[in-house]
Copies of this chain bind each other. A is one copy, B any other.
Amino acid sequence: MGRWEPNPRGRLTEAAMALYAEQGYDNTTVAEIAERAGLTERTFFRHFTDKREVLFVGAVELKDLFVQAVAAAPPSARAMDAVGAALDAAAVSFQDQRPRVERRQAIIRANPELQERELIKLATLAEAVGAALRRRGVPDLVADLTAQAGMAVFRTGFERWAESSDGTPLADVLHATMADLRIAVS
């Protein structure tokens, strides 16, 4: 493949994900990713800081999506309903990505360092949601607690959806998981 082919970023991502799945994340070098994509290492580093970033590049967009959805909830919405609106927005954005998500989860599950990074990503997300709730006037403690509980719903529901094969939409799985939380604490 020549360097004039379009979408270098997408090709690098696809090459990296395929190699991580085939031979493991630790065993894959940037040189191999670039080679598989038919590009140079220099091109790789124009798009990504390192090989880990390929897996976490969506984190900022996801955070923005959550924060904007929380902010856009009606003023009358309670804290957890605002978080629920964010979960609905996330569900829309992930719904058509299941094969990609499934592959990514398998790569992350296989590597303790990536699992730690994923935990930190989710915790950062919870902090951003907590801050967005505080900007709606939710008291500090309730904001943090609601954000963390909401992220527990997102995390467990998301994993359930990524591992299931029955075709249930992510939005439905997240709603069912929120209902499970309600029952668990009642």
Contact = CB atoms under 8 A, between A and B. Distances in A.
A145 B177 contact: yes
A141 B177 contact: yes
B116 A180 contact: no
Nearest to A119: B123
A146 B153 CA distance: 10
Contact of A152 (B80, B145, B177, B180): B145
B185 A142 contact: no
Given A144-B156, A152-B149, A156-B145, A186 B177 contact: no
Given A152-B152, A155-B148, A184 B142 contact: yes
A114 to B, nearest CB: 13
A46 interface: no
Contact of A156 (B78, B141, B185): B141
A171 B185 CA distance: 17
B184 A186 contact: no
Interface string A130-149: 00000000000110111011
A178 B185 CA distance: 8
Interface in A169-186: 177-178, 180-182, 184-186
Interface of A: 78-80, 116, 119-120, 123, 141-142, 144-146, 148-149, 152-153, 155-156, 159-160, 177-178, 180-182, 184-186
Given A119-B123, A142-B184, A148-B148, 20 more contacts: A79-B184, A80-B185, A116-B116, A116-B120, A119-B119, A141-B160, A141-B180, A142-B180, A145-B152, A145-B177, A145-B184, A146-B184, A148-B149, A148-B156, A149-B149, A149-B184, A178-B185, A182-B185, A185-B185, A186-B186
